[in-house]
Each structure stands twice: as structure tokens, then as C-alpha cells.
């Protein structure tokens, strides 16, 4: 490389010289051609000598110097560039357009970020974390991991008994808009939406980012940080200081269930609740615009609880099998990851809720008949709908079995098990599973797998297929302590009688199928989510070959392929993270009209955004349907802005549906 550069360098002068001194081209030519050979030789020798003198180090230095200088020069030029010149102007941002239309800020806006996207900072730590006080451990540039990975992991995990801070460690969410505007430098989360809101007149006084520690269970955020009280106080304050205008709440991802929890908490009497009294929501909230809502959980949480991996990790594993598992280096990356993740209660809140009625049983699922368009970019939605229509008419379930994926089987051991008819499946009675726990203790990495002996794991795998309901049992067996801790805070069932007094407990508040919405007839609930991206729905597992103590015994069988099955994962329609059924069902059916979940008949709207991949210069796209990138989707931003400026659901056009959500919801048979 260096040599090539130098060569270029040495030929350059003679070349450019002939252009430079065009007055005497003849002389120059003469000079070049008539150079005596002897002299050339001499020169060559001299150059050789010089090269020796230059040496490798010098060349390197020279090269680095060149690079640096060029870099600085470019940087300088870039900075000199007037800010508004030279940049390819994209289309006008929706905020500016709407401002020209005459929209102005009306209702205060509350943003509720989702999991993972909120920054966490250190307030108290062990000696190894010195110098990180009030620096971000999560979010930002993640320099912490690179410098001291184990220390970093230690500080991010919670106490495995209480689910709160471990002694001597205090990691707290970053407050304010900065907490989640950018997740990492250049990777926006809320920033685009904030900027567009600002252009119609929003600012700090009427925009509030309700950050919370997303690792904790929802009620624990109140117990430890009083986050819910703070949210309540801020909504009340904004209501008063903005001329008694109700707030528009914009939760994203897990923030949706967090806010659902808040809705129940705020009206419940103290000490468990916030004591706002019935009617609080009616008084203070205009509408809730859920973005990418994980109302009914996400299947991805299943795989991360079981084996700390998702589609992406599975892919890495299949690419380079040794990398993540290398025991030689003593890395045990996955095990460490799993240990940390299992201390986070909030992950449990994302497990699929509603059991078999929602997610399907061994042989049927609401999504069945879904056609995966891996061959083409994105899904051809119109096609799939036609197909569905024809299928539904004449040959409904039986022929499906050949082609359609059995989405209801959240976890299957082996590809075969995921396709066979349920009657052929080998089943193990649940009682048989609950056997004695072995005493094999492996220190260091605590994943609870170390306590299960190998035969039992084999038995677990023999059961072949788990649905949403039986999967919870499986988790209870493989991670008893985690589940015991988390199930005090979350419930994943479906209520038969909502008036049962047990539903007054906070563990049910974040499950839309076990709570009633508050009495607020004027409120509106929106479900805004992207569609058109393959989304994880169920998994094909295998036993991991490693017999080592404390390693994770299961892993996604990334060799399983076919149909909607790719890399061991069955895909369905969604926003790459949340499947349509989870995001849309409540607004499409569960809460639509007056139902037992929605006694006051709060209006619900579904707004879907068809994914279309960005062109080269667009960055992450103005029409993205991806779970996080949708926050930059121009159409979604326009909807949020219009509602914030006072429009109602009907005024922005009611439902807008691309996917099969209505048909899927029809197939879900629950009492309303």
C-alpha cells in the first residue's frame, strides 16, 4: 500500500509538470526523453539508497501523516461548508409542511420510550467503574463495554433475588429528552419526531420524555424511583400550564405496556396506586398513540429468555460457529448475556400474553395462511391477500398443513416437530418434567441452567413442541427463580371474569387481556405500526452439542429452512420485532366498540405503515416500517402532529390497514 502511494507520488510531478508549465512543452519533453541513461541509473541507485534510508517506520509515518492531513483538510472543508449548501435537500419534513398549513402546538405531548432505547447512567458503582459517574453505561457510544466488559455487565445486571439494585450499585435512567433522542450517536430514536414537533411549536414546556428504568418491572420503577408519580405530576403540570389542554401520549414498543400499567396505577388508590381517582385519565388524556405496540408480547422475548439469542445472533452463530461460544477464550458471551437478561424483570413482560387463544395452539394460529415473500424484497401484500381469500373460501385448514407454518408452536425441537400434525407429536406430561433438580453447581455464570441435569434437558426436548401456554411452564422449569420473581409483577393469562377482585393487583395492570381500560369515553387509542417486514414468530430449536457445565443447552437450529422458516425462525408479517397480531389485535377487536376490556367504549384506530426500504441517500428511510425506524416515518409523524394539534381519529382518516389484521382477529376466538 505504502509503496503504491509512493509510486503514485513519484510519477505525479513529471505528469503534472507538463501541464503546469505549458509555455515550454518542448523543453520539458526534451528533458524527459533525453535524459542520459547513466544519469537515470544514478538516480535509480540514489533512490534505492534513499529507500533504505526511509525505512519502514518512516514510510508508515509518512503514510499516516498523509492520511491525517487529507482527513483534516476534508474536515476543514466540511466545516467551512455553509450549513445549508451542498446538502442534497430531501423532501420537506412533515413538520415544516404542516406548519405552513397552519398547524400549531395545542396539546402537550408525552413521549414514553420503549425498552433498550433509553440511556442508563451510573450513580454509584464498584471500584472498577471509577470515572463513569453520571456517564452512560447504556446508550451513547458504549465505551464501557470495550474497556471493561465484565465490570459493565456486573453494573447492568440487577439483583437476582429482588429484581432491584444490587448492593453498592446504582444505575439510573437518564432524564429528559436526551435520554432517548439518539440511542447511539447518529442512530435516532425520537430525535426526528421531536424535531418535527418542535417545528410546529413544541418545546421543553409542552413535551415530556417519560423515561424509566426499562430493566425493572413496572411497579418497581415506582417503588425505587417513583417514576410513575413523576409521570403523573408532569402530566398534571403540563395540563395546567398549557391552558387545561389534555395531553397526547406517544408510547413506543414496551412503553405501550408501561403506559397501560400507568393508566391503571394512576386511578388505583394508594398505597398500590397513584390515587388519582376514577376519571383521572378522562380529565388529563386526550389520546394514546401507541407506536409499534407490543400489547400481547413478542415472540422474540421467548428466544431471548430461553437461549439469549434472536434472529441476528442465530445468524452470527451459523456464520461463525466458534465465535460466540468459544470456551477457549473463556468468553462465554451468550451465557453472560443470558445471566444479565434474566435479571431484568421487564423482559418477562414481553412474553406472549393470552396463551393459546391468541397465539394459536399446536395446529392452528390466527396467522395461518400467511405467505412469506422472502424471494422478493418485502412482501407483496396484495398477492398474499388474494391467496388468503381463495384459500379461506374453499380449502381451509387441512391443506394448509403442507405449506403453512404452524405458528402456534412457539418452540419446536427439530424441523420435523414443527411441521407434523399434533397427533403425531411425542408428548411428555408436564408432571414428568417437574423432577428433581440436580445439584450440579457451576459458579461464575449464573444462568440457572447449571442446576438442571442433562437427562431432564433431554426430556424437555422430547416434548417436541411448546405453545404460548406450555412455554411458560417450560420457562418455569428451566428458570424457576427468574419466573418466580417476575411472576409477582407480570401475568400472561387471559381473564375470564374481569370483575374478580384479584385483578386489582398490579401484576395484571400491564396485560390488556386482564384489565379494563379506564372510564374515559372521550379518549382515543391508536395503534400505529409498521407492516411488510418478516417478523420472528416461532422457533425451531435443537440441543446444543456442548456438554459443558453451565452452558446454554438449547439453541436455535439455524440450519432449518423452508417456506416461512429461515435460519430456524418462522416469520410472519410485522415490523421486524412485533408481529401484527400483537400490535393490532387489541385495537382491531379486543377494544373495538364497547367490550368487556373497554367498558366505556374508548375509540380505537389502527394505522398501519407499509414498509418500503430507503433509497441510498435517505438514511434510515422516510417510509420505513421497521420497529424503531418507523419513528422517522413521515406519514406516522404527520399523524402524530395532526393529533397533537387537535385533530381526532376520524379527522386523520380513521383506520388505515394493509395487513390481514382484521381477518386474523376474527379467527381469535375470545369472549368480548
Does 169 engage in binding with other proteins (CB under 8 A)?
Answer: no
Residue 176 C-beta: closest distance to other proteins, Å: 4
Residue selected from 7, 30, 421, 427 as contacting other proteins according to rule CB under 8 A: 30
Does 185 engage in binding with other proteins (CB under 8 A)?
Answer: no
DSSP state at residue 292? S
Does 37 engage in binding with other proteins (CB under 8 A)?
Answer: no
Nearer to other proteins, 99 or 596 (CB): 99
Query: Which of the ranges 57-65, 373-381, 463-471, 499-507 carries the binding residues for other proteins, by CB under 8 A?
Result: 57-65
Residue 118 C-beta: closest distance to other proteins, Å: 13
Does 545 engage in binding with other proteins (CB under 8 A)?
Answer: no
Residue selected from 7, 11, 45, 60 as contacting other proteins according to rule CB under 8 A: 60
Residue 156 C-beta: closest distance to other proteins, Å: 17
Nearer to other proteins, 195 or 400 (CB): 195
**Selection from 225, 261, 214 nearest residue 115 by Cα:** 214
Query: Which of the ranges 60-68, 254-262, 276-284, 496-504 carries the binding residues for other proteins, by CB under 8 A?
Result: 60-68
Does 84 engage in binding with other proteins (CB under 8 A)?
Answer: yes
Nearer to other proteins, 9 or 323 (CB): 9
Whether residue 647 contacts residue 603, with contact meaning beta carbons closer than 8 Å, is answered with no
Nearer to other proteins, 122 or 302 (CB): 122
Does 79 engage in binding with other proteins (CB under 8 A)?
Answer: yes
Rounded Cα–Cα distance for residues 416 and 542 (Å): 11
Whether residue 575 contacts residue 630, with contact meaning beta carbons closer than 8 Å, is answered with yes
Nearer to other proteins, 84 or 496 (CB): 84
**Cell reading at 266:** 394512576
Residue 205 C-beta: closest distance to other proteins, Å: 5
Rounded Cα–Cα distance for residues 507 and 491 (Å): 6
Nearer to other proteins, 106 or 586 (CB): 106
Does 595 engage in binding with other proteins (CB under 8 A)?
Answer: no
Does 83 engage in binding with other proteins (CB under 8 A)?
Answer: yes
| Whether residue 627 lies in the annotated active site | yes
3-state secondary structure of 137: strand
Does 69 engage in binding with other proteins (CB under 8 A)?
Answer: yes
Task: Judge residue 152's burial from the number of C-beta atoms within 10 Å of its C-beta, 0-12 exposed, 13-18 middle, 19 or more buried.
Answer: buried
Q: How many residues are given for the chain?
A: 672
Residue 84 C-beta: closest distance to other proteins, Å: 5
**Cell reading at 557:** 437450529
3-state secondary structure labels for all residues of 466-522: ECHHHHHHHHHHHCHHHHHHHCCCCCCCCCCCCCCHHHHCHHHCCCCCCCCCCCCCC
Does 322 engage in binding with other proteins (CB under 8 A)?
Answer: no
CB atoms within 10 A of CB 166: 17
User: Nearest 5°: phi and psi at 111?
Assistant: -105, 130
| Whether residue 497 lies in the annotated active site | no
**Selection from 198, 12, 191 nearest residue 99 by Cα:** 198
Nearer to other proteins, 64 or 549 (CB): 64
Does 39 engage in binding with other proteins (CB under 8 A)?
Answer: yes
Residue selected from 98, 118, 180, 194 as contacting other proteins according to rule CB under 8 A: 194
| R_g of the chain, CA atoms, integer Å | 30
Rounded Cα–Cα distance for residues 638 and 197 (Å): 10
Whether residue 659 contacts residue 580, with contact meaning beta carbons closer than 8 Å, is answered with yes
Rounded Cα–Cα distance for residues 477 and 434 (Å): 7
**Selection from 643, 669, 32 nearest residue 356 by Cα:** 669
Does 62 engage in binding with other proteins (CB under 8 A)?
Answer: yes
- Nearest 10 degrees: CA dihedral of 409, 410, 411, 416? 30
- Nearest 10 degrees: CA dihedral of 262, 266, 271, 275? 180
Does 65 engage in binding with other proteins (CB under 8 A)?
Answer: yes
Of 129, 199, 253, 551, which one is the catalytic site residue?
A: 253
- Non-local (6+) Cβ contacts of 3 within 8 A are none
Does 66 engage in binding with other proteins (CB under 8 A)?
Answer: yes
Of 307, 363, 627, 639, which one is the catalytic site residue?
A: 627
Number of residues lying near other proteins (CB under 8 A):
64
Nearer to other proteins, 196 or 364 (CB): 196
Rounded Cα–Cα distance for residues 81 and 78 (Å): 5
Task: Judge residue 421's burial from the number of C-beta atoms within 10 Å of its C-beta, 0-12 exposed, 13-18 middle, 19 or more buried.
Answer: exposed
Residue 431 C-beta: closest distance to other proteins, Å: 46
Rounded Cα–Cα distance for residues 649 and 654 (Å): 5
Residue 25 C-beta: closest distance to other proteins, Å: 11
Query: Which of the ranges 200-208, 313-321, 452-460, 611-619 carries the binding residues for other proteins, by CB under 8 A?
Result: 200-208
Cell 443447552 belongs to which residue? 553
Residue selected from 97, 145, 166, 234 as contacting other proteins according to rule CB under 8 A: 234
Pattern of binders to other proteins over 115-134, x per CB under 8 A?
Answer: --------xx--x--xx-xx
Residue 255 C-beta: closest distance to other proteins, Å: 19
3-state secondary structure of 469: helix
* Cis amide leading into 271 (omega within 30): yes
Query: Which of the ranges 224-232, 311-319, 586-594, 621-629 carries the binding residues for other proteins, by CB under 8 A?
Result: 224-232
3-state secondary structure of 617: helix
Does 64 engage in binding with other proteins (CB under 8 A)?
Answer: yes
Task: Give the up-direction half-sphere exposure of residue 372: CA atoms within 13 A in the CB hemisphere.
Answer: 20
Residue 65 C-beta: closest distance to other proteins, Å: 3
Does 199 engage in binding with other proteins (CB under 8 A)?
Answer: yes
Does 27 engage in binding with other proteins (CB under 8 A)?
Answer: yes
Residue selected from 195, 487, 522, 618 as contacting other proteins according to rule CB under 8 A: 195
Strands 524-531 and 285-291 come out as parallel
| Whether residue 426 lies in the annotated active site | no
Rounded Cα–Cα distance for residues 335 and 333 (Å): 5
Residue 182 C-beta: closest distance to other proteins, Å: 10
3-state secondary structure of 121: strand
Give the containing element (helix H, strand E) for 606: strand 603-610
Of 575, 629, 639, 660, which one is the catalytic site residue?
A: 575
Taking the alpha carbons of 52, 53, 56, 59 in that order, is the dihedral positive or negative?
A: negative
Rounded Cα–Cα distance for residues 113 and 538 (Å): 26
Residue list 240-299, contact with other proteins (CB under 8 A)? 240-241
- Interface residues toward other proteins, by CB under 8 A: 12-13, 16-17, 20-21, 23-24, 27, 30-31, 34-35, 39, 43, 46, 50, 54, 58, 60-66, 68-69, 79, 83-84, 123-124, 127, 130-131, 133-134, 147, 170, 172-173, 175-178, 181, 194-195, 198-199, 203-205, 225-226, 229-230, 233-234, 236-237, 240-241
Q: Which residues are catalytic?
A: 253, 575, 627
Amino acid at each position: 500500500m505504502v509503496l503504491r502511494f509512493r509510486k503514485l507520488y513519484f510519477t505525479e510531478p513529471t505528469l503534472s509538470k507538463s501541464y503546469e508549465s505549458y509555455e515550454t512543452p518542448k523543453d520539458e519533453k526534451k528533458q524527459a526523453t533525453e535524459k542520459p541513461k547513466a544519469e537515470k541509473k544514478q538516480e535509480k541507485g540514489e533512490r534505492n539508497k534513499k529507500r533504505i534510508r526511509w525505512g519502514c517506520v518512516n514510510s508508515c509515518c509518512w503514510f499516516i501523516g498523509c492520511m491525517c492531513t487529507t482527513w483534516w483538510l476534508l474536515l476543514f472543508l466540511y466545516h467551512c461548508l455553509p450549513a445549508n449548501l451542498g446538502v442534497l435537500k430531501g423532501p420537506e419534513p412533515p413538520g415544516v409542511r404542516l406548519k405552513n398549513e397552519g398547524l400549531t402546538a395545542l396539546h402537550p405531548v408525552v413521549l414514553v420510550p420503549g425498552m433498550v432505547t433509553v440511556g442508563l447512567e451510573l450513580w454509584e458503582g464498584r471500584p472498577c467503574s471509577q470515572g463513569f459517574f453520571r456517564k452512560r453505561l447504556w446508550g451513547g457510544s458504549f465505551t464501557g463495554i470495550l474497556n471493561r466488559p465484565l465490570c459493565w455487565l456486573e453494573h447492568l445486571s440487577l439483583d437476582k433475588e429482588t429484581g432491584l439494585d444490587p448492593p453498592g450499585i446504582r444505575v439510573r435512567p437518564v432524564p429528559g429528552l436526551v435520554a432517548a433522542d439518539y440511542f447511539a450517536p447518529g442512530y435516532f430514536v425520537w430525535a426526528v419526531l421531536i424535531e418535527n414537533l418542535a417545528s410546529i411549536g413544541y418545546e421543553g414546556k409542552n413535551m415530556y420524555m417519560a423515561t424509566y428504568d426499562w430493566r425493572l418491572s413496572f411497579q418497581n420503577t415506582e417503588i425505587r424511583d417513583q417514576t410513575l408519580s413523576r409521570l403523573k405530576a408532569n402530566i398534571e403540570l403540563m395540563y395546567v400550564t398549557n391552558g387545561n389542554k389534555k395531553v397526547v401520549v406517544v408510547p413506543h414498543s414496551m412503553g405501550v405496556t408501561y403506559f397501560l400499567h400507568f393508566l391503571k396505577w394512576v386511578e388505583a388508590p394508594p398505597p398500590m396506586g397513584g390515587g388519582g381517582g376514577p376519571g383521572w385519565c378522562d380529565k388529563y388524556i386526550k389520546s394514546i398513540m401507541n407506536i409499534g405496540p407490543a400489547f400481547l408480547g413478542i415472540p422474540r422475548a421467548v428466544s431471548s429468555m430461553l437461549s439469549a439469542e434472536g434472529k441476528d445472533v442465530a445468524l452470527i452463530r451459523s456464520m461463525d460457529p466458534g465465535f460466540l461460544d468459544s470456551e477457549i477464550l473463556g468468553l462465554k458471551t451468550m451465557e453472560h448475556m443470558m445471566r444479565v437478561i434474566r435479571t431484568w424483570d421487564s423482559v418477562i413482560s414481553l412474553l406472549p400474553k393470552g396463551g393459546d387463544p391468541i397465539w394459536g395452539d399446536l395446529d392452528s394460529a390466527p396467522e395461518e395462511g400467511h405467505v412469506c415473500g422472502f424471494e422478493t424484497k418485502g412482501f407483496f401484500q396484495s398477492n398474499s391477500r388474494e391467496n388468503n381469500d381463495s384459500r379461506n373460501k374453499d380449502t381451509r385448514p387441512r391443506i394448509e398443513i403442507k405449506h403453512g407454518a404452524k405458528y402456534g408452536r412457539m418452540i419446536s425441537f427439530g424441523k420435523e416437530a414443527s411441521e407434523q400434525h399434533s397427533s403425531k407429536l411425542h408428548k411428555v406430561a408436564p408432571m414428568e418434567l417437574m423432577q428433581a433438580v440436580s445439584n450440579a453447581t457451576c459458579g461464575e455464570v449464573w444462568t440457572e441452567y447449571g442446576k438442571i441435569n442433562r437427562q431432564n434437558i433431554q426430556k424437555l426436548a422430547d416434548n417436541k413442541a411448546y405453545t404460548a401456554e406450555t412455554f411458560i411452564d417450560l420457562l418455569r422449569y428451566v428458570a424457576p427463580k427468574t419466573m418466580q420473581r417476575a411472576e409477582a409483577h407480570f401475568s400472561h393469562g387471559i381473564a375470564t371474569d374481569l370483575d374478580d377482585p384479584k385483578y386489582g393487583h398490579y401484576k395484571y395492570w400491564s396485560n390488556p387481556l386482564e384489565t379494563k381500560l379506564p372510564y374515559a369515553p372521550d379518549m382515543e387509542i391508536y395503534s400505529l405500526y409498521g407492516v411488510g417486514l418478516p417478523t420472528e414468530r416461532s422457533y425451531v430449536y435443537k440441543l446444543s452439542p456442548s456438554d459443558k457445565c453451565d452452558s446454554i443447552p438449547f439453541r436455535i437450529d439455524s440450519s432449518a429452512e423452508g417456506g416461512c422458516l429461515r435460519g430456524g425462525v418462522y416469520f410472519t408479517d410485522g415490523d421486524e420485532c412485533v408481529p401484527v397480531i400483537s400490535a393490532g389485535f387489541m385495537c382491531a377487536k379486543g377494544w373495538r366498540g364497547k367490550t368487556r376490556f373497554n367498558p366505556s367504549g374508548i375509540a380505537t384506530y389502527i394505522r398501519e405503515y407499509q414498509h418500503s426500504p430507503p433509497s441510498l441517500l435517505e438514511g434510515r428511510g422516510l417510509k420505513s416500517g421497521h420497529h424503531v425506524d418507523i419513528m422517522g416515518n413521515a406519514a406516522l409523524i404527520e399523524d402524530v402532529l395532526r393529533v397533537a394539534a387537535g385533530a381526532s381519529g376520524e379527522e386523520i382518516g380513521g383506520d388505515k390497514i394493509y395487513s390481514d389484521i382484521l381477518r386474523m382477529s376474527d379467527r381469535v376466538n375470545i369472549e368480548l
